[in-house]
Structure 1
Amino acid sequence: MATASGFPARRAALQLLDAVMRRGETIEQTEKAAMKGVDGPADRALARAIAGETLRWLTDLDTLIDSATKKRLPDDAKPRMVLRMMLAQALRLDTPGHAIVATCLPLLSGGPRRLAHGVFSALMKREASLPEVPTLSDSVLVRWGEHALDIAPGLIDPPEVDIALKDASETAVRATDMGGVSLMPGHVRLPRGTPIEQMPDYAEGSWWVQDLAAQLPARLLGVGEGERALDLCAAPGGKTLALAAAGWNVTALDISGKRLKMLRDNLKRTELEAEVVKANALTYHPAKQFGAILLDAPCTATGTCRRHPDVLHRIGPRQIGEMSEIQQSLINQAVEWLPEGAMFVYAVCSLEREEGEDQARWIDATFDLEPVPVTADELPRGIAPTPEGWVRTHPGMLPDDGGLDGFFIARWRKR
């Protein structure tokens, strides 16, 4: 069978999926290698979309495949992965069946090719369909517990685009001019696929891209009025920009030189100032004291599953345990640097209680810190603090407004 136009994008999608499911890598880690030979932004976007929809609906795609095979295909069998891709294109991306066959079957040969063709044709003839909401895997259902069924509807589609404004007083005007909506002062939400760099005042640095939930940790430190603030694990810089715009004298620390370059570029574009430090937070020794420390800690990032559905399949107890240990080490360091009266905000973009609620309880039991409960007027409309005064967001919240990432945030003051 001769390969058709669009085959390189399907080959790249298969490589992306193989990296996630076999090696536990992120899409971003393997994207550069997978996209070799894929010409043009449209085909690269297609490859990402195929991989993303396959991961988003994986459990339901497997249910369809199993319903059409006499003998269950192994989970890691190449025909199963190609069939997942074929069905994702047909049922989620509205790709014509003949185009799917022409571009996906060349990924297989011999008997596996005939098997995939037969299963796909049988499912299309019986007008197979997906449920309204993605079905989460058993392991995810167990971890997320009672919240899982509330979270799942937020995973149906990739998220829209959120931006944070340098000047919150411009919110209403910016939302109107950009054709977006605002869910709180200083925030505008734009339709998915908005060409960011072509939007008004991007080059002038009046705003930056940042999910609504990710905007909250820096906001909870309030106005800086020239006081020093330390942004730990700062890159790529959204929190640093928000703190600087709120009047804090910011030190932005991160271990990644590549990600710090992005932070510096963002500072230059927005004409905001911060001291940028490349260092390991676990061995860093600050020469000055800070009135506030923000630790948006490294985590499993399961709260970003709307935009990164690979986390639904490559994160498990081992990764959660490893991240929890790193987080406690970073918390120990941060608390040690807090002078009396200084504020501490801990945040993770994770839906795992071990990285969020359990860490907050550990902080309460371990350190001489006074909890500073978050109030409803500090949060977007429709989001309420927990009874403990913490913030817990997840993708199923704000369903009528497009949802938001999953975050856990809590705040304390040093006694």
Structure 2
Amino acid sequence: MAETPAGTATGLPARRAAMGMIDAVLRRGQRFDALPAHGLAPSDEGLARAIAGEVFRRLPDLDALIDSATAQPLPGDAKARTVLRIALVQTLVLGTPPHAAIATALPMVEGGPKRLVHGVFGTLMRRGSLLPEVPTLPEAVRQRWGAAWGYAMLGDAARALAVPPPLDLTLRDLNEDGGVGGEDIGTGQRRLPRGHNVADLPGYAEGHWWVQNLSAAIPACLLGPGNGRTVLDLCAAPGGKTMQLAAAGWNVIAVEQHAKRAERLRENLARTKLAADIQIGDVMTWVPAAPADAILLDAPCSATGIFARHPDVLHRIGPKDIAALAGLQTRMLARAADWLAPGGRLVYATCSLEPEEGEKIVTASNLVIDPVGAHELPPGVVPAPEGWVRILPVPGRDGFFMARLRRP
């Protein structure tokens, strides 16, 4: 992503916003995608998010470069370190000329160690320093995932982190793609290279498809055709799975706690000309009017499986967060299971790479696994011997866990 050099005055708002975003994630643990844009022009917001996103994607390697050029390591939360991260990402990843990157960096340390920032950046440029093609995962993440899945998995995860993933689309009708084309990747999906403006693609306005990663599209498929039966889609927004279920002939009751997210779900349903009964409610207090034939619980989770699209998760999620979310998931699953009609099935899913949010939740429940067959899954995805599905990340595929369950 090359950037045309801009004057210092016009370039500063985006850089300052990027610095604020990095601080919000690393120091306060806020979600990157939920951070406000602070009234920036669209072009400035796009640049700010590109800078901050690449800092999160390459943070250990950026810090290793910085530390190689200082006599004493800078504190992790030092403004000078953050400014250097921003300047280096612009030059080494986004294609900004070094003189433009440092010109917009130095004003951000006004009254601080400008000479240090200038000196470290200049030293690294003179050395011809580069970032590795495959990013380094944070050490805490390496230890956690290596213990859970083996260290061979870490190479695939690092390669998945290297670049944002391609664009996966789920078709409303398997026989009509609206002219969007792309690679057929199974489960009624197409894949396009990243970088498209989604709203400009053929078939978007007509509702022929919606954006949904391959892994995220599998859980709804495990419930099969609806044939007019009722399914509860819990924690439903933004609605990819709701639309899948509606397109498969289910009578969908979509439960979403947050009104703003529910509004986005309504917009997606209207665009795709699909129907669902949207109910605003917290799964832990909401009660259905009658038992359901099927339930899809895509539970709130750490989202560590979607790190390739949201690399900030690698730096703000730790063991305490995972334990707290696992407790919530356990309670949600137990509550939802009581809403199944006799013979009904429940799919539990999380976009997490933590066994505490997947395998351990299902194993500790009172539900029985309804094994998933290999024929139900897209190429490259296989069920585990236990009958559930654990998807480990590779380039272009998110990490996910899902299990189809029934009451004993």
Query: What's 2:18 paired with?
Result: 13
Query: What's 2:397 paired with?
Result: 404
Query: What's 1:371 paired with?
Result: 369
Structure 1, residues 96-119: CA drift from partner, whole Å, max 9, x if none? 111101112111124511111110
Pair 1:234-2:240 in alignment: no
User: How far, CA to CA, are the matches of 2:187 and 2:353 in structure 1?
Assistant: 25
User: How far, CA to CA, are the matches of 1:178 and 1:257 in structure 2?
Assistant: 31
2:357 to 355, 358, 369: 355
Distance 1:284 1:61, change over 3 A: same
Query: What's 2:161 paired with?
Result: 155
Q: Where has structure 1 moved over 4 Å in runs of 4 or more?
A: none
| Deviation at residue 44 of structure 1 after TM alignment | 1.6
| Deviation at residue 248 of structure 1 after TM alignment | 0.5
User: Do the aligned residues in 2 keep the contact of 1:4 with 1:102 (CA within 8 Å)?
Assistant: no
What are the equivalent positions in structure 2 for 1:104-183 lying under 5 Å apart? 104-145=105-146, 146=150, 147-170=153-176, 177-183=179-185
1:285 to 284, 287, 291: 287
User: Do the aligned residues in 1 keep the contact of 2:160 with 2:393 (CA within 8 Å)?
Assistant: yes
| Deviation at residue 208 of structure 1 after TM alignment | 1.0
| Deviation at residue 389 of structure 1 after TM alignment | 2.0
Query: What's 1:245 paired with?
Result: 247
User: In structure 2, what residue type is equivalent to 1:55?
Assistant: F
1:389 to 387, 390, 396: 387
User: Do the aligned residues in 1 keep the contact of 2:187 with 2:218 (CA within 8 Å)?
Assistant: no
User: In structure 2, what residue type is equivalent to 1:156?
Assistant: A
Per the normalisation by structure 1, the TM-score is 0.93
User: In structure 2, what residue type is equivalent to 1:21?
Assistant: L
What are the equivalent positions in structure 2 for 1:299-378 lying under 5 Å apart? 299-363=301-365, 367=366, 369-378=367-376
User: What is the percent sequence identity of the aligned residues?
Assistant: 53
Query: What's 1:255 paired with?
Result: 257
| Deviation at residue 178 of structure 1 after TM alignment | 2.3
Structure 1, residues 145-190: CA drift from partner, whole Å, max 9, x if none? 123333111000011211111001235xx5xx32421211410112
| Deviation at residue 413 of structure 1 after TM alignment | 2.2
User: How far, CA to CA, are the matches of 1:387 and 1:150 in structure 2?
Assistant: 22
User: In structure 2, what residue type is equivalent to 1:68?
Assistant: A
- Where 1:250 maps in the other structure, the secondary structure is strand
User: In structure 2, what residue type is equivalent to 1:226?
Assistant: G
- Where 2:342 maps in the other structure, the secondary structure is coil
- Where 2:43 maps in the other structure, the secondary structure is helix
Structure 2 portions without partners, runs of 5+:
1-6
Query: What's 2:46 paired with?
Result: 45
User: In structure 1, what residue type is equivalent to 2:236?
Assistant: A
Q: How many residues are treated as equivalent by the alignment?
A: 397
Structure 1 portions without partners, runs of 5+:
none
User: Do the aligned residues in 2 keep the contact of 1:256 with 1:278 (CA within 8 Å)?
Assistant: yes
User: In structure 1, what residue type is equivalent to 2:372?
Assistant: V
Query: What's 1:31 paired with?
Result: 36
| Deviation at residue 382 of structure 1 after TM alignment | 1.4
Pair 1:273-2:275 in alignment: yes
Could you say what the CA RMSD is over the residues aligned between the two structures, in angstroms? Answer: 1.4
User: How far, CA to CA, are the matches of 1:376 and 1:353 in structure 2?
Assistant: 21
User: How far, CA to CA, are the matches of 1:159 and 1:185 in structure 2?
Assistant: 18
Per the normalisation by structure 2, the TM-score is 0.94
User: Do the aligned residues in 2 keep the contact of 1:169 with 1:185 (CA within 8 Å)?
Assistant: no
| Deviation at residue 266 of structure 1 after TM alignment | 1.1
User: In structure 2, what residue type is equivalent to 1:134?
Assistant: P
Structure 1, residues 350-374: CA drift from partner, whole Å, max 9, x if none? 11111011112112xxx1x331222
User: Do the aligned residues in 1 keep the contact of 2:62 with 2:85 (CA within 8 Å)?
Assistant: yes
Pair 1:194-2:205 in alignment: no
Structure 1, residues 18-42: CA drift from partner, whole Å, max 9, x if none? 1001110011232333xx2x32x33
| Deviation at residue 339 of structure 1 after TM alignment | 2.2
User: Do the aligned residues in 2 keep the contact of 1:302 with 1:311 (CA within 8 Å)?
Assistant: yes
